[in-house]
Amino acid sequence: MSTKNRFKKYLPKVYFTIAICFVVATAFVYGTFKPNSYVKNRIIHQVEAEVVETAHSFGLHEPAFEYNNEETFVYALKNCIDYINFKTEPSKRIPSAIIIGMAGIESGWGTSRFAVDGNNLFGIRTWDPNTPQLKPLELPNARFGVRVYKTKCESVQSMIDTINNHSAYKEFRKERHLQYTNGNWNYRELLEKLDAWSTNPKYAGIVFDAIITRQLP
């Protein structure tokens, strides 16, 4: 067989090898310099997990919760949320704007009796008589009470734990997972899944308006 014919025989294999190399090279370059959303999310989640682990190793301390007006209340609450987020898996975090909006509405921006005397920013109740609590002034003989916390930041952690674990907020967790995976947050949609938190049918809209009008972080 002549050299020319042998070259023609192996030419398809050469083309195939070149094509494979081109595809691999293109995929590498595209994945490195322009990764798809799945790749980006995996990288982000991995980095966030490492940050949480590092935070645990440094033994972070709960920040002071001091305020004297609405602005400093929001600032103190945001510091508390940041502290909690360092200890919380990224996928189980609740957007700070939602937490601040709910706390503001529930506690009168930190001025309610339950917030001042009980460090309870969300009106979280208990039916356990052995749990420290405050009775509503209008219902002194109620079987339930509003929980008393050691710190206001502790009440924030309790609120997050409730939403992350109680069956009433299963749909919220599903919606959060979807938005977290896609990287697109829609606070109004999330708030609609928290309808069990309040008996007020307009609650989601009230909190959302607070987020928008006050430009909560």
Q: What CATH number does the domain containing 162 carry?
A: 1.10.530.10
Q: Which domain holds residue 195?
A: 65-213
In a domain, 39, yes or no: no
Burial of 38 per CB tally in 10 Å (0-12, 13-18, 19+): exposed
What pLDDT does residue 61 have?
Answer: 84
Q: Please give the share of the chain, as a percent, with pLDDT higher than 90.
A: 71
pLDDT tens for 76-124 read 999 999 999 998 999 999 999 999 999 999 999 999 999 999 999 999 9
What pLDDT does residue 13 have?
Answer: 46
| Cα 61 to Cα 176: distance, rounded to the nearest angstrom | 27
Mean pLDDT score, 23-47: 55
Question: Residues 156, 83: contact at Cβ < 8 Å?
Answer: no
In a domain, 96, yes or no: yes
Q: What mean pLDDT, rounded, does the chain reach?
A: 85
In a domain, 41, yes or no: no
Say what the alpha-carbon torsion angle 172, 176, 177, 179 is, to the nearest 10 degrees.
140
Closest C-alpha among 212, 76, 99 to residue 164: 99
In a domain, 95, yes or no: yes
What pLDDT does residue 27 have?
Answer: 53
Give the angle 203-209-211 at the CA atoms, nearest 5°. 105
- Tokens standing for 96? 């700070």
pLDDT at 17 over 60: no
pLDDT tens for 187-204 read 999 999 999 999 999 999
Mean pLDDT score, 115-141: 97
Mean pLDDT score, 167-185: 96
The three-state secondary structure class of 3 is helix
Amino acid type, 117: D
Residues linked to residue 192 through DSSP beta bridges, in sequence order: none
pLDDT at 5 over 70: no
pLDDT tens for 43-71 read 655 665 565 566 555 557 899 999 999 99
| Cα 206 to Cα 211: distance, rounded to the nearest angstrom | 9
- pTM of the prediction? 0.74
What pLDDT does residue 11 have?
Answer: 44
In a domain, 46, yes or no: no
Distances (CA, A) of 166 to 52, 65, 122, 170: 24, 27, 16, 7
Q: How confident is the model at residue 151 (pLDDT cuts 50, 70, 90)?
A: very high
Q: What is the phi/psi pair of residue 134, to 5°? A: -120, 135
pLDDT at 9 over 50: no
Distances (CA, A) of 40 to 13, 35, 43, 50, 124: 35, 6, 5, 16, 38
In a domain, 43, yes or no: no
Q: How many CB atoms lie within 10 A of CB 100?
A: 26
Q: How confident is the model at residue 10 (pLDDT cuts 50, 70, 90)?
A: very low
In a domain, 162, yes or no: yes
Give how many domains the chain has, as a whole number: 1
| Cα 90 to Cα 48: distance, rounded to the nearest angstrom | 7
Distances (CA, A) of 34 to 37, 41, 47: 9, 13, 18
In a domain, 126, yes or no: yes
Q: Please give the share of the chain, as a percent, with pLDDT higher than 70.
A: 72
